[in-house]
Amino acid sequence: MKETVTIWHNPRCGKSRQTLELLRQNRVEPTIREYLKQPPSKAEIDGLIAMVGGDPAALIRDGEAEFKALGRKKAELTKADIAKAILAHPILLQRPVVVSGKRAAIGRPPEAVLPLLK
């Protein structure tokens, strides 16, 4: 049985649209989660942090006004800080994030999600 692939998507974001198109070019029709319309729960954010692995700060967008209002640097944030910030301001979730099974990747560049399809 094939794993369900989900894209945490913002249709206004070019990288998110490119990643969705790349998935479709690879014959994957993902479940599309527009996270600004359906914000993630704390458990979902914690799951994304765990699945993406590496530096959890990669999941947070630091160019947004909501991030600047935190008055902190990305490097100072703990996993709990990141989850709390994204929970309060879903716009801070880096996009797109593609999830397949128990693995996830940030589509920056879009090709970074291709290993999930193997």
Catalytic residues: 13
Spatial neighbors of 96 by CB under 8 A, at least 6 apart, are 7, 8, 9, 10, 13, 15, 16, 19, 20, 106, 107, 113
Contact 60, 49 (CB under 8 A): no
